[in-house]
Amino acid sequence: DGGITQSPKYLFRKEGQNVTLSCEQNLNHDAMYWYRQDPGQGLRLIYYSQIVNDFQKGDIAEGYSVSREKKESFPLTVTSAQKNPTAFYLCASSIPGSMNTEAFFGQGTRLTVV
């Protein structure tokens, strides 16, 4: 079955550590996204990538980094510079510029700083 796989489902990080969240898709989508979700704030865009080897900052990119070396993969690193990283992180993908464009979402990773 095609879809988006995020791992791990739960992640704990000590303060001052970097941590990487995995996102893999087998939908053959060019575009991929990372959103952060906090209670009462909806989804906020962290980074997005329209194509391999290219990505752009979203609305809240500070303290995060990404790479897009393969079409299928779009890992997100939460660095120690992110002051409040505890949140639910969602990865999504879509076909950019298509009339039937919609975003398909993974099941999310819940990151907790301990």
Interacting residues toward other proteins by CB under 8 A: 4, 6, 31, 33, 35, 40-43, 45, 48, 50, 88, 90, 92, 94, 96-108, 110
Closest CA to 72 of 104, 24, 6: 24
For the bound state, the minimum distance from the C-beta of residue 107 to other proteins, rounded and expressed in Å, comes to 5
Q: Name which of 10 and 14 has its Cβ closer to other proteins.
A: 10
For the bound state, the minimum distance from the C-beta of residue 112 to other proteins, rounded and expressed in Å, comes to 13
Give the DSSP letter string of 61-114. -TTEEE--SBTTB--EEE-TT-S---EEEEEEEE-TT-TT---EE---EEEEE-
For the bound state, the minimum distance from the C-beta of residue 10 to other proteins, rounded and expressed in Å, comes to 10
